């Protein structure tokens, strides 16, 4: 197998993930090229990369989604590879194909693998063939309303109507009642048409008390495929992940081994190369079913990196160079527990409305076991054009309890002014008894919303109040002390001896 070292990577993305990719490139001695839109002239990824090129106006379809423009910059800058990050062009088969045609390494899977897994109906069929359990449902797109009604009668309510081209929780409808079938079908269709330009939908059984469990996989070109264990992603809002953790609190050793083997089989069936994720839905009895494969780096990849001790971006690059994986399945182990919180610029009290704006102050958490993958800085204005995620906070601990306490402490340390953020909401999640117990499912946020929207009450806040009280007390007394000082000493204003003596008398 030919190994072609990568010397310069263009990052076809922005925000925290662009910065995160540049970091690994730096450590590998690889030059980096950033691309940016009008809104991102002052963005961190532009400052942090070796070179940066303007690619167009702020809307992503005029910049970060412009394949021609990005390829032009790749050639102009002499980049030999492109990393797509997540979102944007990362799951675009056409982009992977065009890179190949232009002789630029796409750090990701082949166009065929992206296409095969991007279409959820095709993916379901591939998984059935590979012996991976899929959610009971249709294996073809439903073509008429009569057919949909008939399929739902067979599967039994409740069901999920899902867009074959879906992603990001869009084009999906949960149907519980017969009377809502047709309106949900039409709703899912039109949403899918608008969002993905494809209105093909299929029907799946709705899994009760669902837990979202996914497996990270890595596959090289030599045919080695390993999994890097699971991530529990059941803390969701509108089918979008909010908090992720690994290991999953509900996982058993036996089920982990079986699911891991199925994840590897799934990746092999997809002829997969690079880093990818197999998503499963699991019920309370630990029965699990394939949901979809994400053919890219995942937002929540750092928790796996922390617990397994593997830099996934580095491995992606090494695989793209043609290197075999440096480890086998038996070399990989989970060590401790990691949790990730997604920090958004949003108003959690106002229906989670995005709240972009200028950061007037920021203090990021630090300390043992803490990682903060962000991209904003003081004075930076979060643009309105993109996802309002500010950063991802990852806390590690030897045990789940320790990881939760560390996350709690880190969220407390995290101070952002200028924009509203989800930090307090995340603190409440860490405090929620249902979260602490583990075993929560995807209804966790909905079921606990009243608790989660309350102000966090915590030992640290009390500590803070006590400190403020002591300070106020101290300054008031200082005032009294000054009042009682002799005119000479107050005139000089520096009779520290006297001052100290009196202060001691106050027993401060
Ligand atoms: P997307 O491509 O939008 O990520 P997924 O198929 O991965 O779509 O589903 C997103 C989320 O929707 C899941 O994590 C889960 O919470 C919920 N979900 C999807 N399918 C089902 C199902 N059959 N039963 C219960 N929940 C489901
Ligand atoms: P997952 O959690 O399964 O990795 P998501 O769907 O939550 O997947 O994450 C991908 C989403 O992140 C995209 O659909 C997009 O809305 C958003 N996104 C894309 N690029 C960025 C970026 N640079 N920074 C923050 N969010 C982004
Ligand atoms: Mg998904």
Label residue 86 left, alpha or beta by phi (over 0 means left) and psi (-120 to 50 means alpha): beta
Confidence label for 309 from pLDDT (cuts 50, 70 and 90): very high
> Where does residue 330 rank: exposed (0-12), middle (13-18), buried (19+ CB within 10 A)?
exposed
| Closest ligand to Cα 123 | 1
Mean pLDDT within 155-166: 95
Q: Is the pLDDT of residue 282 over 60?
A: yes
Q: Tell me, what's the pLDDT at 485?
A: 61
| Closest ligand to Cα 167 | 1
Task: Please tell me the distance from the alpha carbon of residue 204 to that of residue 192, in angstroms, as a whole number.
Answer: 16
Q: Is the pLDDT of residue 441 over 70?
A: yes
Q: Is 118 in the pocket of ligand 2 (CB under 6 A)?
A: no
Q: Tell me, what's the pLDDT at 494?
A: 47
Of the residues 237, 296, 318, 428, only one is catalytic, namely: 296
pTM over 0.85: yes
For residues 170 and 305, membership in a common domain is answered with no
DSSP state of 210: -
| Closest ligand to Cα 36 | 2
Count of domains for the chain: 4
Domain range for 473 is 467-507
3-state SS, residue 96: helix
The residue assigned the tokens 């095969």 is 116
Task: Please tell me the distance from the alpha carbon of residue 125 to that of residue 183, in angstroms, as a whole number.
Answer: 27
441 within some domain = yes
For residues 305 and 426, membership in a common domain is answered with yes
Mean pLDDT within 446-460: 88
Ligand 2 atom, smallest distance to 14 CA: 23
Using CA positions, which residue lies closest to atom 1 of ligand 1? 167
Q: Is 264 in the pocket of ligand 2 (CB under 6 A)?
A: no
In this structure, are residues 88 and 67 in contact, taking their beta carbons and an 8 Å threshold? no
The residue assigned the tokens 């070292």 is 5
Confidence label for 491 from pLDDT (cuts 50, 70 and 90): very low
In this structure, are residues 6 and 321 in contact, taking their beta carbons and an 8 Å threshold? yes
Q: Which of 76-80, 257-261, 265-269, 497-501 has the lowest mean pLDDT?
A: 497-501
475 within some domain = yes
Nearest Cα neighbor of 277 from 256, 300, 258 is 300
Torsion on CA atoms 26, 92, 345, 46, rounded to nearest 10: 30
Instruction: Tell me the CA–centroid distance for residue 486 and ligand 2, in Å.
Output: 67
Q: Is 387 in the pocket of ligand 2 (CB under 6 A)?
A: yes
Nearest Cα neighbor of 84 from 12, 8, 14 is 12
In this structure, are residues 185 and 415 in contact, taking their beta carbons and an 8 Å threshold? no
Give me the residues paired with residue 53 across strands: 35
Instruction: Tell me the CA–centroid distance for residue 291 and ligand 1, in Å.
Output: 7
Mean pLDDT within 211-215: 98
Mean pLDDT within 406-417: 97
DSSP state of 83: E
Q: Is the pLDDT of residue 474 over 80?
A: no
For residues 343 and 483, membership in a common domain is answered with no
Q: Is 287 in the pocket of ligand 1 (CB under 6 A)?
A: no
296 is an active site residue:
yes
Q: Is 281 in the pocket of ligand 1 (CB under 6 A)?
A: yes
pLDDT digits (tens, 9 = 90+) for 176-194: 999 999 999 999 999 999 9
Show the beta-strand stretches assigned E in 386-436: 389-397, 415-417
User: Average pLDDT of the chain?
Assistant: 93
1 within some domain = no
Q: Tell me, what's the pLDDT at 1?
A: 73
Using CA positions, which residue lies closest to atom 17 of ligand 1? 239
128 within some domain = no
Q: Tell me, what's the pLDDT at 505?
A: 61
HEC profile of 114-174: HHHHHCHHHHHHHHHHCCCCECCECCCCCCCHHHHHHHHHHHCCCEEEEEEEEECCEEEEE
**Residues 6 or more apart whose Cβ sits within 8 Å of residue 82:** 9, 10, 11, 12, 70, 74, 99, 104, 105, 106, 107
Task: Please tell me the distance from the alpha carbon of residue 86 to that of residue 298, in angstroms, as a whole number.
Answer: 6
Q: Is 169 in the pocket of ligand 1 (CB under 6 A)?
A: yes
Task: Please tell me the distance from the alpha carbon of residue 326 to that of residue 345, in angstroms, as a whole number.
Answer: 39
For residues 499 and 392, membership in a common domain is answered with no
The enclosing domain of 198 has a CATH number of: 3.30.1490.20
Ligand 2 atom, smallest distance to 18 CA: 23
The residue assigned the tokens 């962000």 is 374
The enclosing domain of 86 has a CATH number of: 3.40.50.20
For residues 254 and 168, membership in a common domain is answered with no
Instruction: Tell me the CA–centroid distance for residue 453 and ligand 1, in Å.
Output: 24
């Amino acid at each position: 197998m030919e190994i072609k070292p990568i010397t310069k990577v263009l990052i076809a993305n922005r925000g925290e993930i662009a910065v995160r990719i540049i970091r690994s490139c730096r450590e590998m001695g690889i030059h980096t090229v950033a691309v940016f839109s009008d809104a991102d002239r002052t963005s961190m990824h532009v400052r942090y990369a070796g070179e940066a090129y303007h690619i167009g106006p702020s809307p992503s379809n005029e910049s970060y989604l412009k394949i021609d423009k990005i390829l032009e910059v790749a050639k102009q800058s002499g980049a030999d590879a492109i990393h797509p990050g997540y979102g944007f062009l990362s799951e675009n088969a056409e982009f992977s194909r065009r890179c190949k045609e232009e002789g630029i390494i796409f750090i990701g899977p082949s166009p065929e693998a992206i296409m095969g897994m991007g279409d959820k109906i095709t993916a379901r069929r591939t998984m059935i063939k590979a012996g991976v359990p899929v959610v009971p449902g249709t294996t073809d797109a439903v073509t008429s309303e009569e057919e949909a009604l008939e399929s739902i009668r067979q599967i039994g309510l409740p069901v999920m109507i899902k867009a074959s081209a879906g992603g990001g929780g869009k084009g999906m409808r949960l149907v519980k009642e017969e009377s809502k079938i047709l309106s949900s079908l039409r709703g899912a269709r039109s949403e899918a048409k608008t969002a993905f330009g494809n209105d093909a939908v299929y029907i799946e059984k709705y899994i009760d008390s669902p837990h979202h469990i996914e497996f990270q996989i890595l596959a090289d070109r030599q045919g080695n495929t390993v999994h890097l264990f699971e991530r529990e992603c059941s803390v969701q809002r509108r089918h979008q992940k909010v908090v992720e953790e690994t290991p999953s609190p509900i996982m058993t050793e036996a089920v982990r081994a079986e699911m891991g083997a199925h994840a590897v089989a799934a990746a092999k069936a997809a002829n997969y190369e690079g880093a990818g994720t197999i998503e499963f839905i699991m019920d309370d009895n630990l029965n699990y079913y394939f949901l979809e494969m994400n053919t890219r780096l995942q937002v929540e990849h750092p928790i796996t990196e922390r617990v397994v001790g593997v830099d996934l971006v580095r491995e992606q690059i090494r695989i793209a160079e043609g290197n075999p994986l440096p480890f086998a399945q038996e070399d990989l182990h989970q060590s401790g527990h990691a949790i990730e919180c997604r920090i958004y610029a949003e108003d959690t009290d106002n229906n989670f409305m995005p709240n972009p704006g200028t950061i007037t102050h920021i203090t990021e958490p630090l300390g043992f076991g803490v990682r903060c993958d962000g991209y904003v800085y003081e004075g930076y204005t979060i643009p309105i054009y993109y996802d309002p995620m500010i950063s991802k906070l990852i806390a590690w601990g030897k045990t789940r309890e320790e990881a939760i306490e560390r996350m709690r402490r880190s969220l407390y340390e995290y101070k952002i002014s200028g924009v509203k953020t989800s930090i307090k909401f995340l603190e409440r999640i860490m405090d929620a008894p249902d979260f602490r117990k583990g075993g929560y499912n995807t209804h966790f946020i909905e079921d606990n919303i009243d608790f989660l929207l309350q102000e966090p009450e915590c030992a640290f806040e009390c500590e803070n109040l006590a400190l403020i009280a002591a300070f106020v007390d101290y300054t008031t007394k200082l005032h009294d002390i000054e009042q009682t000082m002799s005119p000479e000493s107050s005139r000089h204003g520096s009779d520290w001896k006297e001052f100290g003596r009196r202060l001691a008398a106050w027993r401060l």
